[in-house]
């Protein structure tokens, strides 16, 4: 009875994890912006968008440069690299363009429609997360409880969930590598080479995965010649694409970007320890704690692989070559929380979890080696929800159809969230910009939910006219302004709080807290 019940419980727990991860990812879908939150477009990057991205309702993270997916996603809109202004939109065109398969796939699945392509790209990692989770059942037996820890150690790792949250290439490349390794185990090396081409086409550093094609008999010259032919099959498509990039971008396959990604052996790794110790001495924040635990985990993974050499095991070869990569990673890959290294070393994480033996020692190794799971779970924290919305007679979920768009400027602090509520604090004076995309003035009323840390008189001013003045206290209240016109091009509304307070441990002067700002369109003055 127990033998039949355990696999069902194991699979039910895995299904629950999948539901929870899917639910967490679904929270990144924001009304009007789709899933573009995870593409990490930054406000301060200083680059224009490619032509096909201009005018699209893309969520922009305020006050930051953003992250890598904003470049890969734009390349997905122009997979043949035909836009002559790509250099003005991508921080390093030659470097980014090498990782093209995820973008090409998104373009095909999205039918070339820019809005659909961006959303497919944003969700691509979720599909590969499920694919890898299903594939891992090949090695993680549902009849063994500790194998559930192996499965979770990979699927909830900081690297895997980091790739999912930030729409990056690491997760999809790992799935392709795992498929190639499975085919090698099934003694179908030529098919493994063909499938393995998907990994370096997704992320060029995955060429390290060609180690799966190395001969079991490392002393046989003939075996190495045959393996070399298979490796050529795996890497020639990438070489051909790099050749295309070279000509399409006017020569050169790199502009020097990424030069800090590599360093002398263990210099970057040791520097990460120094960074973590210094950060811990200042403040042991949850992210710092998660960073320390993740670094301990990946260290245990590397030490175990080194301590148990097994050339004939395809997963040991994958792990070993990524231990070499770990030693060579530069400080740029390690820095930050949880750090890009957790994603770059995903193949090591997968290899470690499949190589650890069963038993008490194995159980202890699985727990310590997978400590990055804590950072992975933090990656899926819900985003702040937009605090503004459009109310009109014919509501539209597509922000491209909205007559007005709102942006928060001087005096508005960054969005915050408690998970249930989101809000923005203002200073004593704050400015919101209302963009009017139509050719004629639009009559509106603002419906605002707000409160403050103490009683004060607040006023809202549009084009020099006070459209609302009243008392605001600690209780949340909803107020309606007088109707006013937003002229063609737009206008600004100034919020003046008249007084400020300071929250414990917060040095910001706090005026009022805005929970919701609805632009009610169509009410004439």
User: Do 353 and 146 meet the contact criterion of CB atoms below 8 Å apart?
Assistant: no
Cα dihedral sign, 357-359-364-367: positive
Task: Give the pTM.
Answer: 0.86
User: Do 150 and 356 meet the contact criterion of CB atoms below 8 Å apart?
Assistant: yes
Comparing C-alpha atoms, which of 84, 62, 56 is closest to residue 73?
56
**Token digits for 32?**
């009007």
DSSP readout, 445-480? EEEEEEE-SS-EEEEEEETTEEEEEEEE-SS-EEEE
Q: Is 59 exposed, middle or buried (0-12, 13-18, 19+ CB in 10 A)?
A: buried
DSSP state at residue 399: G
pLDDT string in tens for the chain (525-residue length): 556 788 889 999 999 999 999 999 999 998 888 999 999 999 888 888 998 998 888 988 877 889 999 999 999 999 999 888 888 899 989 999 999 999 999 999 999 999 999 999 999 999 999 999 999 999 998 888 899 999 999 999 999 999 999 999 999 999 999 999 999 999 999 999 999 999 999 999 999 999 999 999 888 999 999 999 999 999 999 999 999 999 888 765 455 555 678 889 999 999 999 999 998 988 888 889 999 999 999 999 999 999 999 999 999 999 999 999 999 999 899 998 888 999 999 999 999 999 999 888 999 999 999 999 999 999 998 888 888 888 887 766 666 677 888 888 899 988 888 777 889 999 999 999 998 877 789 999 999 999 999 999 999 999 889 999 999 999 999 999 999 999 998 999 999 998 899 888 778 899 999 999 999 997 655
In the chain the first and final C-alpha atoms are separated, in Å, by 75
How many Å apart are CA 523 and CA 514, to the nearest integer? 22
């Amino acid at each position: 009875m127990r033998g039949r019940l355990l696999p069902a419980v194991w699979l039910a727990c895995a299904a629950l994890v999948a539901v929870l991860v899917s639910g967490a990812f679904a929270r990144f879908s924001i009304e009007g912006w789709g899933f573009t939150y995870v593409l990490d477009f930054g406000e301060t990057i200083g680059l224009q968008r490619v032509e096909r991205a201009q005018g699209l309702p893309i969520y922009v993270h305020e006050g930051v440069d953003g992250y890598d997916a904003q470049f890969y996603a734009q390349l997905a809109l122009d997979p043949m690299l035909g836009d002559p202004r790509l250099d003005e939109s991508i921080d390093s065109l030659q470097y980014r363009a090498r990782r093209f398969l995820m973008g090409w796939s998104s373009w095909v699945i999205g039918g070339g429609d820019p809005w659909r392509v961006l959303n497919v790209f944003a969700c691509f990692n979720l599909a590969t997360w499920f694919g890898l989770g299903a594939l891992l059942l090949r090695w993680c037996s549902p009849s063994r409880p500790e194998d559930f820890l192996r499965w979770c150690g990979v699927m909830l790792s900081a690297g895997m969930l980091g790739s999912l949250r930030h729409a990056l290439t690491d997760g999809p490349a790992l799935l392709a590598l795992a498929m190639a390794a499975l085919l090698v185990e099934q003694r179908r090396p030529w098919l493994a080479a063909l499938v393995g081409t998907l990994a370096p086409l997704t992320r060029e550093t995955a060429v390290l995965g060609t180690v799966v094609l190395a001969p079991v008999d490392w002393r046989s010259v003939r075996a190495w010649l045959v393996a070399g032919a298979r490796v050529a099959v795996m890497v020639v498509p990438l070489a051909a694409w790099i050749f295309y990039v070279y000509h399409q971008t006017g020569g050169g396959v790199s502009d020097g970007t990424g030069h800090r990604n590599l360093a002398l052996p263990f210099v970057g790794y040791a520097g990460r320890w120094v960074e973590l110790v210094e950060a811990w001495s200042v403040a042991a924040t949850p992210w710092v704690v998660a960073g320390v635990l993740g670094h301990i985990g990946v260290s245990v993974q590397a030490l175990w692989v080194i301590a148990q050499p097994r050339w004939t095991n395809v997963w040991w070869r994958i792990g070993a070559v990524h231990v070499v990569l770990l030693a060579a990673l530069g400080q740029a890959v390690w820095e930050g929380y949880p750090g890009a290294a957790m994603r770059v070393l995903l193949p090591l994480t997968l290899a470690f979890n499949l190589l650890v033996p069963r038993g008490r020692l194995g159980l202890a190794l699985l727990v310590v080696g997978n400590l990055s799971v804590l950072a992975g779970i933090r990656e899926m924290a819900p985003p702040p929800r937009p605090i503004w919305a459009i109310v009109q007679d014919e509501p539209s979920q597509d922000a491209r159809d909205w007559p007005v768009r709102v942006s928060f400027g001087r005096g508005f602090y960054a969005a915050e969230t408690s998970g249930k509520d989101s809000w923005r604090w203002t200073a004593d004076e704050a400015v919101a910009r209302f963009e009017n995309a139509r050719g004629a003035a639009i009559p509106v009323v603002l419906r605002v939910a707000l409160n403050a840390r103490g009683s004060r008189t607040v006023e809202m001013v549009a084009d020099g006219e006070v459209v609302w003045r009243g008392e605001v206290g600690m209780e949340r209240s909803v107020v309606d302004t007088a109707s006013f016109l937003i002229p063609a091009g737009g206008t600004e509304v100034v919020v003046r709080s008249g007084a400020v307070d300071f929250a414990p441990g917060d040095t910001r002067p706090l005026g009022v807290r805005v929970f919701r700002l609805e632009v009610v369109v169509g009410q004439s003055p």
